[in-house]
Amino acid sequence: MLLPGLSPNSSRVIQLPRPTGEPITLTMQPLSLGFHRRLRSRGFVAPQAPRKVARDSAGKPLRDESGLAIMTSDLGDTDYLNEVDLYHQRVAVFAIVESLQSDPHIRFTTSAPCTKELSAWIRYADALFDEMEAAGLTAGDLALLSNWTCRLSNLIESDLQKATTNFSSVAPAAPT
């Protein structure tokens, strides 16, 4: 497809602020069109909350008109919340790594798996996260990198805000 004004390599140089005052210069690119499809094909899908029986104030199960117990999602389940945090962390790591592919100075030592097994891709995402942490990146850095990746990829602002609140307590600044 030929589209005026669209370049296949539309990278952008950004400055990642550092506490010392000297920023790190990074070259980032938008996510490819198939980014989310590739994640799903590898088995990365958001976890589902466990189900539990809805109860009234006396602790009795609530029932529908057929007499069946009403089920509800247990959104406060600790294991589920941990799974959601890890899911968002891994998706953010994959997005950042893809976005940083255009930077000739950034290299990760962990190699991508040669399989479609979800467990191998989970180990890969966790190893990439460990590399980022060992390099000195913080939760705020990952939130900023995620923010820039989303902006470069023209993802809508509400999606960015929603994803950031699930990923980190550091929310991106509102556009001016």
Q: Please compute the mean of the pLDDT values over residues 31-59 and round it to a whole number.
A: 93
Q: How far apart are CA 167 and CA 129, in angstroms?
A: 13
Q: How far apart are CA 92 and CA 146, in angstroms?
A: 6
> pLDDT tier at 160 (50, 70, 90 boundaries)?
low
pLDDT of the residue at 155: 81
Q: Please compute the mean of the pLDDT values over residues 136-151 and round it to a whole number.
A: 92
pLDDT of the residue at 154: 84
> pLDDT tier at 90 (50, 70, 90 boundaries)?
very high
Residues near 39 by Cβ (< 8 Å), separated by ≥ 6?
Answer: 91, 94
Q: How far apart are CA 79 and CA 50, in angstroms?
A: 9
Residues near 102 by Cβ (< 8 Å), separated by ≥ 6?
Answer: 9, 11, 27, 28, 29
pLDDT of the residue at 170: 45
Out of 9-23, 47-61, 104-118, which region has the weakest mean confidence (pLDDT)?
Answer: 9-23
- Looking at the predicted structure, is the pLDDT value of residue 62 above 70? yes
HSE-CB of 85 using CA atoms within 13 angstroms = 10
- Residue 25: its H or E element: strand 24-28
The average confidence (pLDDT) of the chain is 86
pLDDT of the residue at 10: 79
